[in-house]
Chain A
Amino acid sequence: MTNQATIDRLLAAFPAVEPSEFRGQTRTVVPRESVFDALAFLKGDLGFDMLIDVTCVDYLAYRGARGRFGLVYLLLNTGSGERLVVRTFVDDPEPTVPSVVPLWEGANWLEREVWDLFGMRFEGHPDLRRIVLPEEFTAHPLRKDYPLQGRGERHNFPVITRAEG
């Protein structure tokens, strides 16, 4: 669904980008350092004007993972209907990425949700508070080391980093 020309232009501007394809979907892995610039380029020069989703995957025990967290941006070009998946890997213990709220206003709540459930910090986010969990909650429950079952409020659980896991 993504034009080859789009990928070629992205690769020309950011040679470190790794494109791949699965079930007709084009995905790219962008190094964490250049993720904001690449997204700004995709929005400004390649016309990806809508941000469909920002989400995160915790690869704590995933075979062949390249970082603790995989941040996923789903982009859409509303003019041509092109879609592109942009991924970047961020490692613990203090995962931080630049916020894309300056590019797409829609990222505001999506990034707050990722912060809430994964503990990913978004630098430059205007209002990085918890969104679905209460303010006083201490953990980030979609992390893989957070147990599904347990007694009472789960404040005491072993926190595992990728180096140990």
Chain B
Amino acid sequence: MPLERVLQPGNLARDESQEYLWTMNFGPQHPATHTTLRIVLKLDGERVVDAMPDIGYLHSGFEKLGEELDYNQYVTVTDRMNYVSPMANNVAWHMAVEKLMGIEAPPRCQYLRVIVAELARIADHLVCNGAVGLDTGAFTCFLYAFNPREKIYDIFEALCGARFTNSYTRVGGLMRDASPEAIRMIREVIRELPKALDDMERLLNRNKIFVDRTKGVGVLSKEEAIRRSVTGPIARASGVTRDLRKDEPYLCYRDFDFRVCCARAGDCYARYLVRMDEMRESLKIVEQAVENLPQGPVSVGMGERASLPSKGMVYSTIEGLITHFELVMSNRGFEVPCEEVYCATEAPNGELGFYLVGDGTNRAYRARCRPPSFLHFALFPHLIRGHTLSDVVAVLGSLNVIAAELDR
């Protein structure tokens, strides 16, 4: 069968001459899917003619839950969406809630949110690039990536007590302030991480096996990226020069000096390089944020009636006591306008946004999450057509699909 026909399966899909093709089931439990997702592949020998993704294995009704839990409770559910970078989800959720309520978080809180969001980005990219290495045969790279990731999880533990499901943010602030110990650990990561990145780059960047398996594989053009709603590092690797941190600066990203990392090739190798560069830029942001961390409270004051006052205030002042009860009583709670708002952040995977509908109660009427993985996995058949079966794992790895975010 000529390659041109394989590369254009559109008319072939309804062709009876297809009967000799193999159908292969990939997943939902397969080491290279990393999570629970399934792809049905149509193979001509070793060449992939078509791929049909089948998702939903991890669907747990998160958006339905969002209509039943209040604005602070739901943050625990956002942890479980993209569990590789839960901090970024926490920040995105509470930014959307604060936009709906019209609250602005204090400067120290904004800086700390930037720090945790960027650390989450580094942790996410370490896993993703490590996994791309792992899937293409470089197991050492995976270990190089997981060592510094462990250090980042130590920081999260020092900040909020949880390593994996952080739930660090609250409406109008944070769960608690960063301790000097946590700041010291962040400084240590800033010092140590570049060495690990150098190791990874020395191992992979000019590694013939790795380059052969990723270069020219899964090419996404700029026009297709825009047409298919692709955002984040995948779009930037295809030459879409958009980064919400620069284009629509939220939190305090305006204060920092960093580059937007882009590439033009749009293949798996370009995505790997973009993620590698983004980690260094994120490190620059974290460094600037830690060194210029403003003093002050991490939550909005009692005037806003949005964040719980400290226990000292509750036990010793009448205002503190009233604010506490106004927030925790089931018939009281947040003051939310009957309005709708969309708030987007640049999560490690792409544009993570929440479309919130408030109805005056302390629960969202609708809590829509715009998951980047969902739109990126929809790309998969487009990227894999015409490549070989072994490229499936390389493309899948470079898309960084997190099934819990995909299915919600």
A-B contacts, 30 of them at CB < 8 A, read A22-B339, A23-B102, A23-B339, A27-B340, A49-B226, A52-B231, A52-B351, A52-B353, A53-B355, A53-B368, A55-B368, A57-B340, A72-B368, A74-B353, A78-B242, A85-B342, A104-B227, A106-B229, A109-B375, A113-B374, A132-B56, A132-B59, A132-B407, A132-B408, A133-B59, A134-B56, A141-B61, A141-B64, A148-B64, A148-B65
Not counting A57-B368, A146-B64, a sample of 13 additional A-B residue pairs whose C-beta atoms are within 8 angstroms of each other reads: A1-B248, A23-B99, A23-B102, A55-B355, A57-B366, A58-B366, A74-B342, A78-B226, A106-B375, A106-B378, A109-B374, A148-B67, A148-B68
Cα of A131 to Cα of B248 in the assembled complex, Å:
32
Nearest residue (CB) in A for B60 is: A132
Which B residues have a C-beta under 8 Å from some C-beta of A? 55-56, 59, 61, 63-65, 67-68, 99-100, 102, 224, 226-231, 240, 242, 247-248, 338-342, 344, 351, 353, 355, 357, 359, 365-366, 368, 370, 374-375, 377-378, 407-408
- Is A157 an interface residue, CB under 8 A from the partner? no
A18 shortest CB reach to chain B, Å: 14
A124 shortest CB reach to chain B, Å: 17
A77 shortest CB reach to chain B, Å: 10
Cα of A148 to Cα of B226 in the assembled complex, Å:
37
B84 shortest CB reach to chain A, Å: 20
B-contacting residues, A74-113, CB 8 Å: 74, 78, 81, 85, 104-110, 113
Given contacts A25-B341, A81-B247, A106-B378, contact A53 B64 (CB under 8 A): no
- Once the chains bind, are B365 and A63 in contact (CB under 8 Å)? no
Nearest residue (CB) in A for B242 is: A78
Nearest residue (CB) in B for A108 is: B378
Cα of A89 to Cα of B93 in the assembled complex, Å:
26
Cα of A142 to Cα of B342 in the assembled complex, Å:
19
- Is A50 an interface residue, CB under 8 A from the partner? yes
- Once the chains bind, are A104 and B341 in contact (CB under 8 Å)? no
Cα of A62 to Cα of B226 in the assembled complex, Å:
35
- Once the chains bind, are A106 and B228 in contact (CB under 8 Å)? yes
Name the A residues within 8 Å of B248 (CB-CB).
Answer: 1, 81
Nearest residue (CB) in B for A85 is: B342
Given contacts A81-B248, A142-B64, contact A131 B55 (CB under 8 A): yes
Cα of A57 to Cα of B66 in the assembled complex, Å:
13
- Is A165 an interface residue, CB under 8 A from the partner? no
Name the A residues within 8 Å of B355 (CB-CB).
Answer: 53, 55, 72, 74
- Is A51 an interface residue, CB under 8 A from the partner? yes
* Of the residues B231, B247, B344, B365, contact of A57 by C-beta under 8 Å: B365
- Is A117 an interface residue, CB under 8 A from the partner? yes
Cα of A155 to Cα of B333 in the assembled complex, Å:
34
Given contacts A52-B370, A74-B355, A78-B240, contact A131 B56 (CB under 8 A): yes
B-contacting residues, A1-41, CB 8 Å: 1, 22-23, 25, 27
Given contacts A53-B368, A132-B59, A142-B63, contact A63 B338 (CB under 8 A): yes
Nearest residue (CB) in A for B351 is: A52
Cα of A133 to Cα of B408 in the assembled complex, Å:
11
Cα of A133 to Cα of B61 in the assembled complex, Å:
10
- Once the chains bind, are A104 and B56 in contact (CB under 8 Å)? no
Name the B residues within 8 Å of A78 (CB-CB).
Answer: 226, 240, 242
Nearest residue (CB) in B for A143 is: B64
Name the A residues within 8 Å of B338 (CB-CB).
Answer: 63-64
Cα of A58 to Cα of B113 in the assembled complex, Å:
32
Name the B residues within 8 Å of A117 (CB-CB).
Answer: 63
- Once the chains bind, are A57 and B229 in contact (CB under 8 Å)? no
B262 shortest CB reach to chain A, Å: 13
Residue of A27, A53, A81, A105 most packed against chain B (CB within 10 A): A53
